[in-house]
């Protein structure tokens, strides 16, 4: 039995086919150009297989609430040409199979929870710090979703006393994403974030923002573990800095596991999202069979 997964990002779509033993048998990365061109290539890839179900983790914002007419759409994305695109039905109508539809970060959270760093837990928060900042939460094995999916990358943060940057979020300027994403770092320092030395004093500021956000999520959601991914988190020296800053900011107010166990990196590397999508495809098939 074969499952399909699409991890849809603003830069690329990662498409994969996996079998019931969770082996990925084929994978293709497609650049995100126009919806027409991108979906043509998506179909071309998956048309080679007979799939039992699919799982999609998409960039957003997307509509995940079935009560709305635009359920299944990418809604108000600033990505040119991609707002108001009925993603889910482009896939569902073409293949006529069960399709699980969620955000890219939820899919990654699911992947890490079931097969990665959060294995054995029933709740987990996955945060990506990359081109954007976003997070997905699983609480008691369910995604945290309400009227919409959460937009945890856009929370307000207290400014670090040494930070004079105004922020680059096109909606809120100095929200979490506006202060701490890869492009925010590069715009603030006028250098590639990859090229900063691990000893650069800026990393204290970055760690402070990430820790402050984790503190807020911890106080609101109480996850069992926080998994950090995305390009910026390739800077491994950030982990001990974030843990220390989180400990300082929390000031022992909540009892948590030791920080090395509470704030961790991805186990599935850059595969958390696509593995999550494949697992969600299987979950959706099981749900449909039990209906």
Positions touching ligand ADP (CB under 6 A) are 9, 11, 128, 130-132, 182-183, 186, 193-194, 230-232, 234-235
Closer Cβ to ligand ADP, 92 or 200, answer by number: 200
Residue 185 beta carbon to ligand ADP: minimum distance, rounded to whole angstroms: 7
| Minimum distance of ligand ADP from residue 273's CB (angstroms) | 9
Task: Please give the Cα distance from 281 to 291 (Å, whole number).
Answer: 16
Bin 149: left if φ > 0, else alpha if -120 < ψ < 50, else beta.
Answer: beta
Residue 108 or 175: the one with the smaller Cβ distance to Zn ion is 175
Give the shortest CB-259-to-Zn ion separation in angstroms: 27
Pick the binder of Zn ion from 124, 169, 275, 281 (CB under 5 A). 169
Angle at 161 between CA 194 and CA 238, to 5 degrees: 30
Collect all residues with Cβ–Cβ distance below 8 Å to 87 and sequence separation of at least 6.
Answer: 8, 56, 58, 62, 72, 73, 74, 101
4 or 57: CB nearest ligand ADP = 57
In whole angstroms, how close is the CB of 175 to Zn ion at the nearest point?
A: 3
**CB under 5 to 8 A by kind: which of Zn ion, ligand ADP, none does 234 bind?**
ligand ADP
Cα–Cα nearest to 138, from 74, 257, 221, 63: 221
* Partner whose footprint covers residue 58, from ligand ADP, Zn ion, none (CB < 5 to 8 Å by kind): none
The option from ligand ADP, Zn ion, none interacting with 232 (CB < 5 to 8 A, set by class) reads: ligand ADP
Minimum distance from residue 48 beta carbon to ligand ADP (Å):
26
Based on CB atoms, which residue is closest to ligand ADP, 121 or 163?
163
What's the burial of 188, exposed, middle or buried (CB within 10 Å: 0-12/13-18/19+)? buried
Which DSSP helix (H) or strand (E) runs through 5?
Answer: strand 2-8
Smallest distance from Zn ion to CB 178, Å: 5
Any idea which residue has 């900042």 for tokens? 133
175 binds Zn ion (CB under 5 A): yes
92 binds Zn ion (CB under 5 A): no
Neighbours of 114 (CB within 10 A): 21
Q: Which residues pair with 265 in a beta bridge?
A: 228
Nearest-angstrom CA–CA distance, 171 and 158: 17
List residues binding Zn ion (CB under 5 A).
Answer: 154, 169, 171-172, 175
């Amino acid at each position: 039995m074969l499952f399909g997964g699409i991890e849809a990002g603003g830069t690329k779509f990662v498409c994969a086919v996996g079998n019931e033993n969770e082996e990925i048998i084929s994978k293709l990365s497609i650049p995100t150009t126009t919806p027409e061109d991108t979906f043509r290539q998506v179909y071309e890839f998956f048309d080679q297989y007979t799939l039992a179900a699919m799982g999609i983790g998409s960039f957003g914002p997307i509509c995940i609430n079935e009560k709305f007419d635009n359920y299944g759409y990418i809604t108000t994305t600033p990505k040119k040409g991609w707002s108001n695109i009925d993603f889910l039905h482009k896939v569902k109508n073409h293949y006529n199979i069960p399709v699980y539809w969620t955000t890219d970060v939820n899919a990654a959270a699911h992947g890490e929870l079931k097969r990665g760093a959060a294995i054995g837990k029933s709740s987990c928060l996955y945060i990506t710090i990359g081109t954007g900042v976003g997070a997905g939460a699983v609480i008691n094995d369910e995604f945290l979703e309400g009227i919409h999916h959460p937009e945890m990358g856009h929370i307000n943060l207290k400014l670090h006393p040494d930070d004079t940057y105004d922020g680059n979020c096109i909606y809120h300027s100095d929200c979490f994403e506006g202060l701490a994403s890869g492009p925010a770092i590069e715009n603030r320092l006028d250098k590639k974030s990859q090229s900063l030395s691990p000893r650069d004093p800026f990393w204290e500021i970055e760690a402070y923002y990430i820790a402050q956000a984790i503190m807020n999520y911890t106080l609101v959601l109480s996850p069992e573990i926080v998994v950090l991914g995305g390009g910026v988190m390739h800077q491994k020296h950030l982990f001990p800095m974030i843990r220390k800053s989180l400990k300082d900011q929390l000031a022992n107010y909540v009892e948590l596991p030791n920080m090395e166990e509470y704030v961790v990196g991805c186990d599935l590397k850059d595969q958390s999202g696509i593995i999550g999508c494949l697992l969600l495809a299987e979950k959706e098939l099981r749900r449909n069979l039990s209906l």
